[in-house]
C-alpha cells in the first residue's frame, strides 16, 4: 500500500508535493550540514497518535487529563537524553533550537543582561544575538571572533578582555558555520573569572558528542547545553536543553519553557526524539558518527588539492566552509544554484570578514551527515567533492552539467535513502 494513500485520496495537491520531495531526496544527495534523513521509525513516531494530545506541563504534573502514555513516553525520552550527554537534567519540550536558546536566556538572565557569544560572520548563529533578531531587543549581546580565520583559532584573550569589560551573565560557546573544536576549558575559566554561566549551543554537533567523536562541554564543567534534535543527532526537527547538575537551573529552565515560552508541547515530536535517542545509544551510531568525520576529511583533501580556500583551514567535525568566490570566481548563490542543477544540495554562506551580501555571499557550507546516513564512505565523499569542483568550474556548460547530474544519480541509486537506522 502506498505510504501516503489517505493523503492521495483526500488531497492530491499535497500528495504531489510529498511524492516530489521523496523523488528529489532519492535522486540527489543532501550536503546541507544541518539536514539529515531520519529512520522510518522516527517518522512513524513523528506522525503518530501523539499528535492528538495536549500535554501542558511535565510528566506527573500536567494540566489536562489522559496523560498515562504521554508521561511514560516523555520520561523515557528524558532518560535517554540524560544518558546520551551525561546530564543530570533534560528538557525535551522546546519546539526548536531557537526556542531552546530563547528559553535558556530568560531562565538565566533578566532583560538588559549581557551575553557573550560568537559573531555570526565568524561562525555563530542568529540566536546568539544578531541585530536582526527580536531577542537582541531584550538582552545585550557582545561578541568574540576567530583570531585567525585560516586556522579557526578563537581569540581567547580577546574573548577574556570582552568578558572582563562587559561582565556577561552568560558566555555562549557554539556555532552554525565553524569547523574546529572549541577549547571548552578556556570558556569555563573565563566564566569563573567574571561570574558567568557557561552555555554551549551544540545544535550542529550534538550527534558527534553523543557518539563520542567530539568533546562534551559538560566534561569541562559547562552549566547548560542547548541543541536541536535533528542534524547529526538524526531525530525529528525540534530542540532540547540539558543541564549538567544544577537543580535550580533545571527548575528555572523548565519554567522558562513552560509556561514561559510555550504552551502544549508537540508530543508526537517528543516521541520521535525518544526513538532517535534510542538509536543514538546503540554501538552502530558510534560507527556512523565516526564515518561522518572520515567523510568530511576526504572532502577536505579534494578541495585543498584544487586550491580552494577553506575557512578554518579544514575541519574537525561534520562541515566545511569554502570561499568559492575567492578561489573559483563563483559566488555562493551561483554555486548553490548550479550544484542544485546536478543534484547536489548545499547552502550559500557568508565567510569571515565577508565583502559580499548575505544573499549572494562568497562562500558555501556543506557537510556529510546525510550522505553518511546513506552508507557513503570516503570513496563516495571524494567522488562528490570532485563533482562539486567540476560543476562549479563548468557552471555555464549545459552538456557537462547533464553528464555530472547522471553521475550523481548513479551514485544515489547505489546508496538509497535507508528506511531503517541500520
Residues with a catalytic annotation lie at 54, 56, 201, 228, 231, 237
Residues 6+ apart with CB under 8 A from 296: 179, 315, 317, 318, 319, 320, 367, 368, 381
Cα–Cα distance, 77 to 224 (Å, whole number): 18
Cβ neighbors of 246 (< 8 A, separation 6 or more) are 223
Q: Return d(Cα 171, Cα 149) in angstroms, integer.
A: 21
Report how far apart, in Å, the C-alpha atoms of 211 and of each of 8, 283, 331, 375 are.
39, 9, 35, 17
Spatial separation of the C-alpha atoms in residues 200 and 293, rounded to whole Å: 21
Phi, psi of 133 (to 5 degrees): -90, 150
Q: How far apart are CA 223 and CA 244, in angstroms?
A: 6
d(CA 138, CA 131): 11
DSSP code, position 115: E
Asked whether the bond before 259 is cis by omega within 30 degrees of 0, the reply is: yes
Residue owning grid cell 532519492: 26
H or E stretch at 227 = strand 224-228
Query: Most distant CA pair in the chain: distance in Å?
Result: 64
**Residue 176: count of CB within 10 angstroms of its CB:** 21
Contact 334, 395 (CB under 8 A): yes
What SS3 class is residue 117?
strand
Say what the alpha-carbon torsion angle 294, 362, 171, 78 is, to the nearest 10 degrees: -50
DSSP 418: P
Cα–Cα distance measured from residue 324 to residue 389, given in angstroms and rounded to the nearest whole number: 10
**Sign of the alpha-carbon dihedral angle for 337, 343, 348, 351:** negative
Amino acid at each position: 500500500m502506498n505510504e501516503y494513500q489517505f493523503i492521495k485520496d483526500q488531497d492530491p495537491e499535497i500528495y504531489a508535493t510529498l511524492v516530489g520531495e521523496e523523488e528529489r531526496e532519492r535522486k540527489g544527495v543532501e550536503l546541507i550540514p544541518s539536514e539529515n534523513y531520519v529512520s522510518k521509525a522516527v517518522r512513524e513516531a513523528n506522525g503518530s497518535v501523539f499528535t492528538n494530545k495536549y500535554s501542558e506541563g511535565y510528566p506527573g504534573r500536567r494540566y489536562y487529563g489522559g496523560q498515562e502514555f504521554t508521561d511514560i513516553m516523555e520520561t523515557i525520552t528524558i532518560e535517554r537524553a540524560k544518558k546520551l550527554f551525561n546530564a543530570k537534567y533534560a528538557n525535551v519540550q522546546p519546539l526548536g533550537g531557537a526556542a531552546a536558546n530563547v528559553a535558556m536566556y530568560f531562565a538565566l538572565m533578566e532583560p538588559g543582561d549581557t551575553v557573550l557569544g560568537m559573531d555570526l560572520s565568524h561562525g555563530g548563529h542568529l540566536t546568539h544575538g544578531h541585530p536582526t533578531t527580536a531577542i537582541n531587543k531584550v538582552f545585550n549581546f557582545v561578541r568574540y571572533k576567530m583570531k585567525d580565520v585560516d586556522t579557526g583559532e578563537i581569540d581567547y584573550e580577546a574573548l577574556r578582555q570582552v568578558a572582563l569589560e562587559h561582565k556577561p551573565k552568560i558566555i555562549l560557546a557554539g556555532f552554525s558555520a565553524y569547523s574546529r573544536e572549541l577549547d571548552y576549558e578556556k570558556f569555563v575559566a573565563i566564566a569563573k573569572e567574571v561570574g558567568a554561566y557557561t552555555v554551549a549551543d551544540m545544535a550542529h554537533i550534538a550527534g558527534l558528542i553523543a557518539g563520542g567523536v567530539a568533546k562534551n562541554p559538560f566534561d569541562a564543567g559547562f552549566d547548560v547545553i542547548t541543541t536541536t534534535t535533528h542534524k547529526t543527532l538524526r531525530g525529528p526537527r525540534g530542540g532540547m536543553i540539558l543541564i549538567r547538575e544544577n537543580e535550580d537551573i533545571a527548575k528555572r529552565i523548565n519554567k522558562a519553557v513552560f509556561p514561559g515560552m510555550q504552551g502544549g508541547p508537540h508530543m508526537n515530536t517528543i516521541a520521535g526524539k525518544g526513538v532517535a535517542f534510542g538509536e543514538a545509544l546503540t554501538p552502530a551510531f558510534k560507527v556512523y558518527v565516526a564515518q561522518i568525520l572520515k567523510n568530511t576529511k576526504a572532502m577536505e583533501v579534494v578541495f585543498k588539492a584544487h586550491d580552494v580556500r577553506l575557512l578554518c583551514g579544514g575541519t574537525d567535525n561534520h562541515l566545511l566552509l569554502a570561499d568559492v568566490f575567492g578561489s573559483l570566481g563563483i559566488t555562493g548563490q551561483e554555486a548553490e544554484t548550479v550544484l542544485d542543477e546536478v543534484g547536489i544540495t548545499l547552502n550559500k554562506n557568508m565567510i569571515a570578514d565577508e565583502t559580499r551580501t548575505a544573499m549572494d555571499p562568497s562562500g558555501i557550507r556543506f557537510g556529510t551527515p546525510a550522505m553518511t546516513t546513506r552508507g557513503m564512505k570516503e570513496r563516495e565523499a571524494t567522488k562528490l567533492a570532485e563533482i562539486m569542483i567540476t560543476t562549479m568550474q563548468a557552471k555555464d556548460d549545459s552538456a557537462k552539467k547533464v553528464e555530472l547530474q547522471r553521475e550523481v544519480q548513479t551514485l544515489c541509486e547505489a546508496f538509497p535513502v535507508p528506511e531503517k537506522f541500520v
